[in-house]
């Protein structure tokens, strides 16, 4: 236990994949964690896992596309743990794998609603809570936020948006002692990645592995280490940045 002793963190999408790994890692570093997800059973399991390891966590059922849920998440952090220091806005969905003309408006709105508007909703309430005492926000974008992702136009647009939102807010809130950064994972072994790999030839797992320098997907824990670093004082001069964690996929 070190680094984040006594800090309070919220993690959206904390029930699975990258969010779960980050919730466990932040808690192991001493943070009190609000595990926020729309998946209740899995989220409660992560909460229990943190408790078993000697950490402190609470589960909050949240659909990030609903502003009132994001407000309630922040409220839970304040009420239960007495503040908010760290927010990892990570919940996301991949959406339909299809040509742009076949993406469909409903799919477009769902993907933007969770991946981009969801981050916006969370940030609005987190920034209000952090303004007095400072804090750190880490948003999950993607390598698809840096380059085009064929057959995933809505997803790629949402992730480009997350980077724009991150950079703009970072410029506004630095003076309040709030650092805001994004992470851009490549191919990380999670349920979402399996779903994308199963659905599309161009984005298939074999092609992604072959195109990356390290020739393998990452485990979610490898991304959690970056989230921990960005959340800690070790990254005290880092804001408005996006960090690629992709095994050399985009180099």
Q: Which stretch binds ligand NAD (CB under 6 A): 89-97, 122-130, 174-182, 229-237?
A: 89-97
Nearer to ligand NAD by Cβ, of 64 and 130: the residue is: 64
218 vs 35: CA distance, rounded Å: 22
Q: Kindly write out the interface string for residues 49-88 of this chain, putting x where it contacts ligand NAD by CB under 6 A and - elsewhere.
A: -------------xxxx-----------------------
Residue 209 touches ligand NAD, criterion: CB under 6 A: no
Residues 212-241 that bind ligand NAD (CB under 6 A): none
Query: Nearest distance from residue 172's CB to ligand NAD, in Å?
Result: 23
44 or 174: CB nearest ligand NAD: 44
Beta strands 135-140 and 242-245, pairing class: unpaired
92 scored as a contact of ligand NAD (CB under 6 A): yes
Closest approach of ligand NAD to the CB of residue 142, in Å:
4
Residue 141: CB minimum distance to ligand NAD, A: 7
Active site residues: 155
State the residue for tokens 């984005």: 203
Contacts to ligand NAD from residues 144-203, by CB under 6 A: 185, 187-188, 190-193
Q: Which residues contact 176 (CB under 8 A, 6 or more apart)?
A: 130, 131, 134
Q: SS3 for 182?
A: strand
Strands (E) in the chain, as ranges, are 8-12, 32-37, 56-61, 86-89, 135-140, 178-185, 242-245
Alpha-carbon span 19 to 28, nearest angstrom? 14
Least distance in Å: CB of 240 to ligand NAD?
19
Pairing of strands 242-245, 56-61: unpaired
Find the radius of gyration of the CA atoms of the chain. 17
Closest distance between ligand NAD and the C-beta of residue 66, in Å? 8
| Position among 8, 13, 84, 153 found at the interface with ligand NAD (CB under 6 A) | 13
Binder among 12, 107, 152, 232 for ligand NAD (CB under 6 A): 12
Among 7, 29, 35, 37, binds ligand NAD (CB under 6 A): 37
Cβ proximity to ligand NAD: between 140 and 181 the closer is 140
Q: How far apart are CA 223 and CA 20, in angstroms?
A: 11
Residue with tokens 């993406």: 103
174 vs 189, which CB is nearer to ligand NAD?
189
Report the Cα–Cα distance between both ends of the chain, in Å, rounded: 35
Give the CA distances from residue 23 to residues 86, 89, 150, 167, 226, in Å, rounded to whole numbers and listed in that order.
11, 11, 31, 24, 13
For the chain, what is the largest distance between any 2 Cα atoms, rounded to a whole number of angstroms? 50
Question: Which residues are near ligand NAD by CB under 6 A?
Answer: 12-13, 15-19, 37-39, 62-65, 90-93, 114, 118, 140, 142, 185, 187-188, 190-193
């Amino acid at each position: 236990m070190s680094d984040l002793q006594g800090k309070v963190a919220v993690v959206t999408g904390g029930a699975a994949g990258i969010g779960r790994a980050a919730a466990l890692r932040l808690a192991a570093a001493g943070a009190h964690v609000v595990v926020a997800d729309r998946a209740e059973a899995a989220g409660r399991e992560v909460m229990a896992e943190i408790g078993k390891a000697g950490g402190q966590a609470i589960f909050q059922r949240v659909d990030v596309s609903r502003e009132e849920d994001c407000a309630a998440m922040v409220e839970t952090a304040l009420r239960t743990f007495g503040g908010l220091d760290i927010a990892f806005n990570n919940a996301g969905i991949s959406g339909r794998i299809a040509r742009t003309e076949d993406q469909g408006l409903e799919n477009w709105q769902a993907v933007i609603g969770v991946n981009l508007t969801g981050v916006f909703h969370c940030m609005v309430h987190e920034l209000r809570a952090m303004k007095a005492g400072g804090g750190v926000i880490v948003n999950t974008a993607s390598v698809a936020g840096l380059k085009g992702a064929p057959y995933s136009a809505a997803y790629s647009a949402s992730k480009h948006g997350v980077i724009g939102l991150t950079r703009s807010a970072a410029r506004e809130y630095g003076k309040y002692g709030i650092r805001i950064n994004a992470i851009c994972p490549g191919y990380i072994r999670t349920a979402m990645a399996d779903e994308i790999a199963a659905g599309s030839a161009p984005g298939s797992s074999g092609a992604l592995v072959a195109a990356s320098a390290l020739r393998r997907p990452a485990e979610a824990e490898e991304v959690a280490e970056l989230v921990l670093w960005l959340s800690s004082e070790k990254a005290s001069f880092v804001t408005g940045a996006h960090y690629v964690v992709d095994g050399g996929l985009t180099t």
